[in-house]
Each structure stands twice: as structure tokens, then as C-alpha cells.
Structure 1
């Protein structure tokens, strides 16, 4: 099973919202941003995208220097927040992953996030050891989730997998690579048709274990 991180395993807004406001306070102090902080909905609605695409939506008229500084600050503040214990996983994530791991399922992460952030979340919440590997666009410089998942599948010689995620990019990554897609409908960041093309939908992460047992 290949998991997205934000909006699938990690309740991203629990960390991202306080970090987002702090980031814009610093950007204003440093002269990289003027005026009010853009609405939280802009960044929450952009989860699953690559950072350059996120900033095109959140601060479209900003300079490249401002966007690069936003990259640095976002990672720095998120890692600081994780160290302080800010943020939570979705209910049932730890127990479900442990159960799947105990069943012998090979578990992976494929995220469009930055390498240190993705690994930082897994480490902070004590789930890193349950995964065979953690893949991020930040580490592998992939242009899309499709490319990242293909890289993962090829590297580990995987022919059959479930792609588990909450955004259309996860559905696309699974479908384009010929894998089964399990859509996570509980995060609520996406559009109504966000998970169109999924083989099954989860309204609670723990339902994944039931699906796996049925598939066996």
C-alpha cells in the first residue's frame, strides 16, 4: 500500500494553519509581503500540489525571492511545530498501519511534500518504522505524483499496489500506473469530484483494514 501523507495520514491543518499565519508575519517583517494574510482556504485547497504551484495560487503576484523565502519558512516552521508536538494524525492511523504491517503488507509513502517534512511527520508520530520507504517530490524532484509513484513501483519491483490518498493527484497517480485507488473522503480539502475514479472510498481511515481483509 502506498499512502499520501497530508489529508490521508496526517491532519495537516492541525499544524499548517498556525504555521501559515506565523510564516506571513515573518514575510511581512522581512518586506516580502504587504497587506493581509491570504485566506487559509487557499493553501488548504492546494494541499497535494507541488510547492511552486501552491504559491502560484496563494501569492501569485509575489516575487520569486518571496516564494523561495516562503519555501524556507514553511519547512522551518513546520519542523519546529512537529518538535513542539503540534499537529495530529487522523484517528485510527497508528493502529491500522500497525495491523497492516503485522499482516505483512509492505507500506510506503508517496507525497508531493518536502523530504524533511514528510520524514519529520513520520518520525514525530512514531510511524516511520512501519514503512518500507518514504518517497517525496522534495527528495526525488519529480514533476508529478504519477512520476513519483512510478519511481517507487519500479525501484521496489512492485506490480500490484493500493494507492491511498485524498486528492485527484493521488487518483491520477494510481490509475496512470495501473494500480487500485482507495480514496480518502474524510479530509474535506478537495472538490466534490476530487476522488472520481477511486475503486473505493474511506469515510474513516480504519475502514482500510476492513477493505484489506475483504480483498484477502
Structure 2
């Protein structure tokens, strides 16, 4: 655990979903390969499936930005079809027990909830995907609100987190996430940022600017204990 600041106990914690709460590759990669099989069958794509590491490197981005990198030569129709297929295949994949949360996530969230911390999700994903994970893995009742770019049509996570803070009248929160967009969303909104460095999707500088970097989700409880 790497600390660069003395922490103040938060009234709320706001979590990213992919790479923070949810071990995304356990759901995404099987869906990703099926998606390209269908795109080829339907004539939307030719050639080999792009390297799955390219898709993993895009986690945390908005879907239109993901397809610009993964399907750069794809037509607008192909991108729309990829949107539909990815959501469909991932929701189907949630029925598979191999698609899992990170170790300690459920237990840690339950303890934070017991301590009276208000819990939220802010994700750049689609509404049904983000809420589907929370429902399927039994953590939905722990959250006061689940915010997604897909539902609120925000163009950046900064805007999504601002909306969440305003709507719930939150003054001091910890933004918890694994990507630079999470750091930016927290800092631009004047909040503390806890960077999660266990997913391994981002570059070395991904969490630059975070107040603390943790290497397992359960370390949040120790941070909460130590906060003033």
C-alpha cells in the first residue's frame, strides 16, 4: 500500500466496476471471441480477431472509443452491432460462475456498509451491464446508487461523478478505481482518490496522482481504520 496523503474518513465511497470490483477478463474474453465470430458470420468484419490484450487495454473507456481502437476500420453499423453483441454476450456470460468479483470485494463492501459508509458505483459501461454484474454477484443491495455512462449519457467520468455527487449531496468521498479516468474523475471533483493496482490492465503511470495505491481490495478497510 502506497500513501502520499493523510486521509479523512469519507461519507461515501464511489467505485469503478471493471478492474476494481469485477475481474472483467473472466467475463469479457469469452464474449470478445464470440463477438468477432458473429461479426465475421454477419459480414461486418474480415480477418483474425484482434489481440485480446488490445481489448483489455481499453477497459475504462467509453464504448465508441473502444471500437475506434479495436475496430478502427469498422463501419458505424459494425460498431453499433458490436455494442449490441457485447452487451448480449456479457449478460449471458454472467450466468457462468467463472465470471467473478476480485477476492474480498463482497466482504469488504459488506463491512463498509455496516460501518455506515455510503456506497456507489460510477462506471463508463452500459447500464444493463454494470447493474447486471451487481445483481448477479449479490452486491446490488449494498449500493445507494449505480451510475453508468450508458444510463446518464455522460461524455466523461468527471461529468458522471459530478452528477452523482450533486444528486446525493455528497461533500467528501473516496473515488476508488484502477484507471487514469478514475483519478481524473476524483481529482477534478475535489475528492480523495484510491488507486487499485491489482487488475494489471493499465500502464505504469495509470494511477499517477492518486492519494493512495492499494494492491488488494480488502486494504480499503485498513485505510478506513487509519483515516482521521
TM-score (norm 1): 0.99
1:9-28 map, 5 Å: 9-28=21-40
Matched, 1:194 2:184: no
Query: CA shift at 1:84, angstroms?
Result: 3.2
Of the three residues 22, 45, 51, the one matched with 2:57 is 45
2:128 aligned with 1:116, yes or no?
yes
**In 2: Cα distance, 1:32 partner to 1:205 partner:** 40
Match of 1:207 in 2: 219
Structure 2 CA distance for aligned equivalents of residues 18 and 137 of structure 1: 24
Q: Is residue 29 of structure 1 aligned with residue 26 of structure 2?
A: no
In 2, the alpha carbon distance for the partners of 1:170 and 1:201 equals 12
Deviations 1:122-176 (Å, cap 9, x if unpaired)? 0000000000010000000000000000000000010100000000000000000
Within the candidate set 166, 176, 192, 1:154 is matched to 166
Equivalent-residue separation in structure 2 for 1:87 and 1:169 (angstroms): 24
> Helix, strand or coil for the counterpart of 2:122?
strand
| Deviations 1:92-144, CA, capped at 9 Å, x for gaps | 00100000000000000000000000000000000000000100000000000
For 1:26 and 1:162, the matched residues in 2 are separated by: 40
Structure 2 counterpart SS, 1:104: coil
Task: Name which structure has the greater RCO, CA cutoff 8 Å, separation 6+.
Answer: 2
Aligned to 2:183: 171
Distance 1:64 1:71 in 2: 11
Name the structure 2 match of 1:137.
Answer: 149
Please tell me whether residue 64 in structure 1 is matched to residue 76 in structure 2. yes
Aligned residues between the structures: 216
Deviation of 1:208 after TM superposition, in Å, equals 0.5
* Gap regions ≥5 residues in structure 1: none
Query: TM-score, structure 2 length as denominator?
Result: 0.94
Picking from 114, 127, 130, the partner of 2:139 is 127
Helix, strand or coil at the partner of 1:83: coil
Distance 2:224 2:69 in 1: 37
Give the Cα–Cα distance (whole angstroms) in 2 for the partners of residues 158 and 204 of structure 1: 26
The CA deviation at 1:75 is 0.1
1: CA distance, partners of 2:98 / 2:223: 31
Note the residue ranges of structure 2 that are not aligned, 5 or more in a row. 1-12
The secondary structure found in structure 1 opposite 2:118 is: coil
List structure 1 runs of 4+ shifted beyond 4 angstroms.
none
Report the counterpart of residue 18 of structure 2 in structure 1.
6
